[in-house]
Structure formats: C-alpha cells, structure tokens
Amino acid sequence: MKLAFVFLALFLLAGCTQLASSDQQNLSDQTKFSDCLSFCQAQPHIQCVGEWDVTGVIPNCQCNYVCAIVQ
C-alpha cells in the first residue's frame, strides 16, 4: 500500500512538472510575436474557411478559430 502511494505521488509530481514546462513554452512562444493576431495566425487550426477571434495581449493571447458558415 505504501509503495502504491509513492508511485501515485511520483506520477502526480511528474504531471505537474510537465504541465508547468508546457505553460512556460507557450509563454516563450507568445513573446516572439509583436501582437496576439500574429501569434494566433502562426498556430495550426482546423482546415475550414474562417477567421481568428483573438483576444488578450502578449503574453496572454486567447486564440479561437471560427469557421464561416457556407449557405
């Protein structure tokens, strides 16, 4: 039982460490751009006709790609 608790604790710690590293990488990526629109346009998105809905300011950009509705 004690061994299982140790493995669980290590697993959780590793996940938290990796998440923090991912957040730091995203922050680093955003600071390479002069504005959020430039940052968002460099991100991959679903392959449809549409446009970026961008809010926030560097380094807190929120990118949301919105597909246009074809009628």
Top pLDDT among 51 and 5 is at: 51
Top pLDDT among 45 and 70 is at: 45
Place of tokens 């460490």: 17
Q: Name residues whose C-beta falls within 8 Å of residue 51's C-beta, 6 or more positions apart in sequence.
A: 65, 66, 68
How do residues 13-59 score in pLDDT, each as one tens digit? Answer: 444 434 344 444 555 678 789 999 999 999 998 889 999 999 999 98
Q: Token pair for residue 12? A: 């959780």
- φ, ψ (nearest 5 deg) of residue 58: -55, 130
User: How far from chain centre, in Å, is Cα 50?
Assistant: 20
Q: Are 69 and 51 in contact (CB under 8 A)?
A: no
Place of tokens 């390479």: 32
